[in-house]
Structure 1
Amino acid sequence: MDVFPAFFPLAGRSVAIAGEGEGAEAKARLFDGSPATVLRLSPGEALDPKAYAGVSLAFIAGEDDQWAASAAEAARAASVPVNVVDRPALCDFTTPAVIDRGEVVAAIGTGGASPMLATMLRQDIEARVPEGAGRVAALFRTMQGEIRDALPEAAARRRFLRAQLNGPAAEAAMAGDMDGARERLRAALFEGPQMAGRIRYVDARGPADLLTLRALRALASADVLVLDAEAHPEVIALARRDAERLTGAEVERLVEFAAEGLTVARLIAGAGWRTEQAALDSRGVTTEVLPIAS
């Protein structure tokens, strides 16, 4: 990892955009609808360090190289991190391609090397992130205290939240019914978390871009990865980094995982998985195929 991605809170912050032209306007559009205060600095104002007092981030946009370097120097003199449009060597940080879903924000960066590539990847990912995702995030934020009080044990809380992300509460939030979503989430808390685990079979022969959205979500949410030795590295790389990983596992071990309420992503690359699935089904373990080619 050549750069460290981080999300910067904007509430109560000021952002300076120095210069004129399309580059400056593009940076200003990044903050449409955000809680940040946007300060527009003229080319002359941008050369005075005092203009950046109280500013958290500065964006410099202009055609003149010498002016851009001087404006960046002025911002740094005020201890403000700087992004200079189209001049990576002058930047303290680069601007990613952003997917904005309210409280859900995704960003793709290339360290300034290829903004067009970042844009292309953003478009690909954006199609996979539904418009209502931000409302789902808002639901869990507003209910965070109630959920923590009801489920103080972290592992149980994670299992409950994972189940609810695909449950009626999330569906209601996605549709815009926030009152109904809160009612459903409280009802699920009152009933108690569902502890039954499941085994999800994912075709791991690769390449990764052939995976379905459901398979990607299974990889992202799995507590345990059980891999065939031939599982494609690109597919494995999409799984949670903190998930337990095993190469192969006996049916009894998979039954134990399910009994513990864990979700297992079974990454398969061979043909023997159907016998394993049948054995699990006979033991009452919930299995799911996402989907698998014959």
Structure 2
Amino acid sequence: MDAFPAYFPLAGARIVVAGSGEGALNKLRLLASSPATLVRVEGPDAFLTGSYSGALLVFIDGEDEAFAKGAAAAARAARTLVNVTDRPELCDFTTPAVIDRGEVVAAIGTGGASPMLATMLRNDIEQRVPEGTGRVAALFRNFQDDVRARFPELHARRAFLRETLSGAVAEAAQGGDMEKAQSLFRAAIAQGPKAAGKVQFVAGRGPADLLTLRASRALAAADVIAADPGADPDILAMARRDAERMTPDEATPEAMIDLARSGRRVVRVVVQAPPAEEVRFLAAAGVSVEVLASAS
């Protein structure tokens, strides 16, 4: 990862856009729906440090090299983060291609190397992010404290949220019926934990692009990961960074049964087909088991 993506809260923030070119207008349009205070700076004022005082971010559309360098120097003297259109060497950060769904914002960046590629990728991904996604996120934020109080254990909370995000609660919010969504959410919280854990065997020999979508989703949702030696690193990179790690020796059938019964999702990344007797043993114990092979 050559650049670290981060999100800055914009409520109450001051953002300065300096310059008068098309790039400046694009930034103003991009931020028009945000809760930030937008300040436009043009001409000689762009060279004054005071023009940028208190700004969280500064966007500069360099009309020419002298303007770009002078404005960037003044902004940095005010201790702000600076982005200069088409001049990555003058930037503290780059501007990604953004998918804006209100509470849900997705960004695709190339570190300034190819904005056109970022735009193309955004167009592809945007079609997969429904318009109502922001309403779902807003609903879940409003119930965040209630969920934490009802499900103090992290794995139980994750299991509840996974189930709720794929059920009637999210569907109602997606469709705009927020009153129904809130009612269903309250009922689900009151009902408490009900999602059972499972054990999923994922083919780990590689290459990673042969993994099925179901297998990649299993890795992304795993609470516990146990990988065989020789598993493809690109496959392991798909797993959640905060998932608990176990060695294959620790991931005995008995241990996996205990984890699944406690509501956890266990993913065994294997380089050979899992032993049939192990799969049968887990199933006989009442554990949900999936064997997810590559798409080859």
Q: State the identity as a percent.
A: 58
The answer for the alignment partner of 2:234 in structure 1 is: 234
Deviation at 1:163, TM superposition (A): 2.8
Aligned to 2:257: 255
Query: CA contact under 8 A between 2:224 and 2:244: conserved in structure 1?
Result: yes
What is residue 12 of structure 1 aligned with on the other side?
12
Shift of 1:125: 4.1
Cα offset for 1:46? Answer: 1.6
Say yes or no: does 1:119 pair with 2:119.
yes
Q: Distance in 2 between matches of 1:77 and 1:171?
A: 49
In the alignment, what sits opposite 2:198? Answer: 198
Residue 50 (str. 1) matches residue 50 (str. 2) = yes
SS of the aligned residue for 1:9 comes to: coil
Structure 1 residue 54: Cα displacement: 3.3
Q: Amino acid of the residue matched to residue 284 of structure 1?
A: G
TM-superposed deviation, 1:227: 2.5
Change (3 A) 1:269 1:129: farther
1:32 and 2:32 are equivalent in the alignment: yes
Residues of 2 paired with 1:189 and 1:76: CA distance? 48
2:205 and 2:178 map into 1 onto residues whose CA distance is 40
Give the Å deviation of 1:21.
2.2
Q: In 2, distance between residues paired with 1:155 and 1:46?
A: 51
The runs of 5 or more residues in structure 2 that have no matched partner are none
Q: Which residue of 1 aligns with 2:141?
A: 141
The residue number in structure 1 matching 2:91 is 91
Structure 1, residues 158-207: CA drift from partner, whole Å, max 9, x if none? 33223322232223223332222222221111111125211234344444
Residues 212 and 294 in structure 2, CA contact (< 8 A), matched pair in contact too: no
Distance 2:130 2:217 in 1: 13
CA contact (8 A) 2:21 2:61 kept: yes
Taking the aligned partners of 2:194 and 2:220, their CA distance within structure 1 comes to 19
Distance of 1:28 and 1:209 partners within structure 2: 39
1:105, distance to aligned residue in structure 2 (A): 1.8
> How far apart are 1:15 and its partner, in Å?
1.2
The equivalent of 1:105 in structure 2 is 105
Distance in structure 1 (CA, Å) of the matches to 2:244 and 2:288: 20
**Equivalent pair of 1:195/1:260 in contact (CA under 8 Å):** no
Asked whether the 8 Å contact 1:14–1:38 carries over to 2, the reply is yes
Report the more deviating stretch, 174-183 or 244-253: 244-253
Given residue 281 of structure 1, which amino acid in structure 2 is its aligned partner? A
Question: Structure 1 residue 210: deviation in Å?
Answer: 4.2
Counterparts of 2:201 and 2:32, CA distance in 1: 42
Provide closer, same or farther for how the CA distance between residues 160 and 206 of structure 1 changes in structure 2, counting only shifts above 3 A.
Answer: same
- Matched residue of 2:3: which SS? coil
Look up the SS of the partner of 2:31 in the other structure: coil
Aligned partners of 2:81 and 2:93 also within 8 Å: yes
Deviation at 1:141, TM superposition (A): 0.4
Q: SS at 1:277's partner residue? A: helix
- C-alpha deviations, 1:39-58, integer Å up to 9, x for none? 22223332222322332211
Q: Structure 2 length normalisation: TM-score? A: 0.87
Contact 1:229 1:247 in 2 (8 A): no
2:286 corresponds in structure 1 to 284
Residues of 2 paired with 1:7 and 1:73: CA distance? 24
CA contact (8 A) 2:49 2:74 kept: yes
Query: Does the 8 A contact of 2:201 with 2:274 survive in 1?
Result: no
The structural deviation recorded for 1:136 is 2.0
Q: State the alpha-carbon separation in 1 of the partners of residues 254 and 207 from structure 2.
A: 30
With over 3 angstroms needed to count, the CA separation of the structure-2 counterparts of 1:194 and 1:86, relative to structure 1, is same
Q: What's the secondary structure of 1:111's corresponding residue?
A: coil
Residue 80 (str. 1) matches residue 89 (str. 2): no
Report if aligned partners of 1:203, 1:293 keep a CA contact under 8 Å in 2. Answer: no
What are the Cα deviations for residues 8-51 of structure 1, in whole angstroms up to 9, with x where unaligned? 01111121111122222222232132111222222333222232
